[in-house]
Structure 1
Amino acid sequence: MRKPRIEVEKFINVKGKIMFFGEKKPLTAIETTKVLDVFKLMKKRDKRLVILTDQDKYHIKGIIATSDICHFLLKGESCEYCSKFPSHYYQIYEQPISVLARARPVIKLHHETPLFIGVHIMNEQNIGMLPLIDKDSDLIGIITERHIAFLLADTKQNLEVKVKDIMTPNVITCTPSQTIGDALHIICEKGFRRIPVVENGNLVGYFTVKDLLRYFIQDGVVKLFQDHNVDPIFHEKLNSIMVRPVITIDPEAAITQCASVLKKKSIGGLPVVEDDKLVGIITEHDIVRAMAISQS
């Protein structure tokens, strides 16, 4: 059955300049900055993406996402340097962040591009962020799925779309006794950014790729990497990093209510619970995917 569409054009000027809806000061790092320093910067700013730039901080050289970091930590082969020294993680931490950048084109938009085009590109390319540039191709901002999803939180319009209409059912979960290594495998293989944690059929926590990043830059973990004592790092149980208590939402809730909770808590997703049972998950990605914006 086809999912309903969120008719966002009814309350937002979708032909408006995309920069108006985005962020003017995105997180950036010069491509020669050390890997560990960038990880710490991402934690401090609570960001899952960083744009790599040249020394002048204007020209885009690449993008590093927490998913790239997870792939590196899992396989140690995200780049030429990593493949040569797969067990020497701490040596990688001391390398320039550019060594973790996977070869892929960076899709950019002019800052005056209409919003509906940006949403269309995100959905067509299955990406969660677009750098915004000026006429000289200098970086001046970004637009993300989160910026777009949060627009629903500010509307008074009565949208008929409910959480159950666009949520992802059949959720992949973990248990508290599974390990950090297990979590990395699931995130990298399934492509998810957040995983609920279930025990005896009950939702007891969740974790995200940002929680994993915070774990991997803890002083104790970095010291283990430095000593090449990797096994304890990946055998750590998920109950040590999972978030609790869990903020949830009902499947019958309006999508605007969901967006309001996401914005208020500054989070990107919510487990969907009915009669104390996990029945799905809804994320900013699901919301933007439902915005097949009309161009008329």
Structure 2
Amino acid sequence: MTLEKQDFIAALQSYSEEPSILPDELWSIYQSAVTHSVIREKAAYPLSALMAQPAITVSAEAFLMEASRLMLEKRISGLPVVENKMLVGIITEGDLMAGFGVPVRAAQTSRMKKALDSWLHPHPISTSPTSTVGEVMIRSVVSAEPQQTLKEGLELMRRYQVTRLVIVDDQRQVVGIVTRSDILRFTSADPQTTPLLPPATAG
């Protein structure tokens, strides 16, 4: 890890008060600069270096109870939904609760929000035990490709306000998933345990 001027500039920009020469404040700025340096150096890594794989997926035809059991068993909060191995949606804990008839969001009254909700959920949400994942899943999925960088992935997550990225190949088949936990684990890992970037993408 190499600290550069841009890391200290980034640290100063994130510092809320007028910096002084007090030891504690200098130490705080230094630690912030180290954090920015780690993120900057690892931002060039491809998402394939940190994605969880193989991705745990669920079929659109699966019953909600099946998806619920899978989430509990694997201790995850969201599942990519596939049809013929291709990504068609995503279902989260909140979507499952809504499918079981438990409100998880405030009532939406505006026409625009109603129109958006009807597009995301084209079928009325049912509380029937035979309701399927395809009936309640979110169709608009933020995805990325394995070769895209961590920096690009973070920009996607920030832009679309999502907590996970589904990683797909050229055929839209799910090959992995990247969550906030994966990113934190990767950026906080000991540099000695981080694989070197291939020469073609380094620098």
Deviation at 1:280, TM superposition (A): 0.8
Kept in 2: contact 1:180–1:233 (CA 8 A): no
| Alpha-carbon distance in structure 2 between the residues aligned to 1:262 and 1:176 | 24
Deviation at 1:160, TM superposition (A): 2.6
Structure 2 counterpart of 1:236:
131
Distance 1:217 1:163, change over 3 A: same
Where does the alignment leave 5 or more consecutive residues of structure 1 unmatched?
Answer: 1-6, 22-113, 118-147, 220-231
Match of 1:181 among 65, 70, 73: 65
Alignment map for 1:151-230 (pairs within 5 Å): 159-215=43-99, 216-218=101-103
Match of 1:260 among 152, 155, 180: 155
Structure 2 counterpart of 1:280:
176
Structure 1 counterpart of 2:25:
none
Aligned-residue Cα RMSD (Å) equals: 3.6
| Alpha-carbon distance in structure 2 between the residues aligned to 1:286 and 1:8 | 23
Kept in 1: contact 2:55–2:175 (CA 8 A): yes
Deviation at 1:184, TM superposition (A): 0.9
Moved over 4 A (4+): 7-13, 155-158
Structure 1 counterpart of 2:178, which letter?
I
Deviation at 1:198, TM superposition (A): 0.8
Distance 1:280 1:158, change over 3 A: closer
Higher CA-based Rg? 2
Structure 2 counterpart of 1:142:
none
SS at match of 1:234: coil
Structure 2 counterpart of 1:289:
185
Distance 1:9 1:286, change over 3 A: farther
Kept in 2: contact 1:269–1:283 (CA 8 A): yes
| Alpha-carbon distance in structure 2 between the residues aligned to 1:268 and 1:186 | 19
Structure 2 counterpart of 1:43:
none
Distance 1:158 1:192, change over 3 A: closer
Structure 2 counterpart of 1:226:
none
Where does the alignment leave 5 or more consecutive residues of structure 2 unmatched?
Answer: 17-27, 105-126, 191-203
Equivalences, count: 146
Deviation at 1:213, TM superposition (A): 3.0
Report % sequence identity. 22
Structure 1 counterpart of 2:160, which letter?
K
Structure 2 counterpart of 1:271:
166
Kept in 2: contact 1:205–1:243 (CA 8 A): yes
| Alpha-carbon distance in structure 2 between the residues aligned to 1:186 and 1:293 | 28
Distance 1:263 1:214, change over 3 A: farther
Deviation at 1:171, TM superposition (A): 1.1
Structure 2 counterpart of 1:242, which letter?
M
| Alpha-carbon distance in structure 1 between the residues aligned to 2:82 and 2:90 | 8
